[in-house]
Homo-oligomer: A and B are copies of this chain.
Amino acid sequence: MKGLLLRPLVYVLGFVFAAISLDAGAQKIYYRDKTEQMPVVNQDRTVTFRYYAPGADTVKVSGDFLSSGQRPALMKNNGNGLWEYTTVNPVGPEIYAYSYIVDGQKVLDPLNMFVWRNISDLYNIFIIDGQRTANYQIKDVPHGTVSSVWYPSPSLNRQRRMTVYTPAGYERGKGKYPVLYLLHGMGGDETAWLDFGRAAQILDNLIAQGKAQPMIVVMPNGNPAEQAAPLENSDGYNMPLFFLPKTMDGSFEESFKDIVSFVDKNYRTVRKRRGRAIAGLSMGGFQSLYISANWPELFGAVALFSPAVSVQEEFKSNNIYRDIDLKWKAQMEKNPPLYWIGVGKIDPLYGEVECLRKKFDLCSYPYTYFESQGSHVWTEWRIYLEEFTQLLFK
């Protein structure tokens, strides 16, 4: 509190801001709550969560730090209104998402301001430092630029927003760069790979270490019904649907040429097959599979991260999805791309991916297979991005 007394003007401004700008009288609460940060990583690397809810009947904590499939953990009321839970086991280095469930309602942690959005849901984030998370953090290396860019999509008859990472030095240089098109899953939009995916940090760090080539990374919005992320589109203050129309019906894949055309026109790109890669997770893996199979001349590298593979019955006759075996034959038999498939051992889509691999094996299509321990979660997809980008454009 010493700083406050020494700096009255700063205090007054802070008070003015907290009291009037947004909190309208709640400034006491504003400060009181901010004396500690949750969750707490203990010496033995177990993690303790606390939630203040004196009148609640049950408080649970939920998140991907729990073992996969584990129900939300019941917290214990310590008698003064504070509910507490400490993990049974140490929690390894990772970025984790969590939230609380208070009397059946999912709420955020008021003591943790690190929040990422997944379509219409918010999650608190905590990070345990370690080797695993080293490349997810901001280091003192040259940083690329991350831009939100609007592009015209004649196929979808609207402007749409994408995120573009240009590597350090791009702006002041003259050279041409290869492009990785990086697609999110059903639970995401053009911001997902930046937040949960740490794409900018992973690329910054790998490029600085000489492990990845400098590349442009284009992260479009893979939901054709959406112009852009919520509150960044013309829908204004309307909650987005989780199940958007046009999901995996072929229209995003059809519109992909608009993206490649815009990028090749507006950025200094290597406008050749060897200068383009496409990768995506889950739904984005599905899209990468079908986009690259339909336009094999565009992509010198393809990666499927925990991909969905099967086409929904109602869309099976769409141009994009039909005759996939013939399309693979054309894509894979002569001059096949670097084809990379990653999936976690306990991913519910493991069987679907196994089936795809069997088909590829049967035809002797070449691909690199990467199997991780986890499930259908961002922890795996960050690892896959780190692995795949090191193989690219070399």
Residues of A near any B CB (own CB < 8 A): 3-4, 6-14, 16-18, 20-26, 29-31, 33-34, 37, 52-57, 60, 62-64, 66, 68-72, 81, 97, 99, 101-108, 110, 112-115, 117-123, 125-127, 129, 137-140, 142-143, 145-150, 158-159, 161, 168, 171-172, 185-187, 227-228, 230-234, 236-239, 242-243, 245, 247-248, 265-266, 282-283, 308, 310-314, 348-349, 375-378
- Cβ of B138 and Cβ of A24 under 8 Å apart? no
Q: Does B17 lie within 8 Å of A185, measured CB to CB?
A: yes
Taking a contact as CB atoms closer than 8 A, the residue among B20, B62, B129, B146 that contacts A377 in the complex is B20
A348 — which chain B residues lie within 8 A by C-beta? 12, 16, 20
Secondary structure dominating the interface of A: loop
CA distance A62 to B158 in the complex (A): 38
Chain B residue at minimum C-beta to C-beta distance from A146: B148
Q: What are 5 A-B residue pairs whose CB atoms fall within 8 Å in the complex?
A: A10-B247, A23-B63, A26-B62, A29-B101, A105-B110
Q: Within the oligomer, what is the number of copies of this chain?
A: 2
**Chain B contacts of A23 at CB under 8 A?**
62-63, 99, 106
CB of A284, distance to nearest CB on chain B (Å): 11
Q: Which residues of B contact A233 (CB under 8 A)?
A: 138
Question: Per a CB cutoff under 8 Å, which of B20, B69, B127 touches A236?
Answer: B127
Question: Is B66 touching A24 in the complex (CB atoms < 8 A)?
Answer: yes
B97 touches A22 (CB 8 A): yes
Known contacts A9-B308, A53-B56, A114-B237; can you find 18 more A-B pairs with CB under 8 A? A3-B243, A12-B348, A16-B376, A17-B187, A25-B62, A26-B60, A26-B106, A34-B239, A37-B239, A105-B110, A108-B110, A113-B120, A113-B122, A129-B236, A137-B236, A138-B227, A140-B158, A146-B148
- Which residues of the other chain, B, contact A230 by a CB distance below 8 angstroms? 113-114
Instruction: Tell me if A8 and B71 are in contact (CB < 8 A).
Output: no
**Could you tell me if A64 and B29 are in contact, using CB atoms closer than 8 angstroms?**
no
CB-defined contacts of A29 to chain B, threshold 8 Å: 101, 104-106
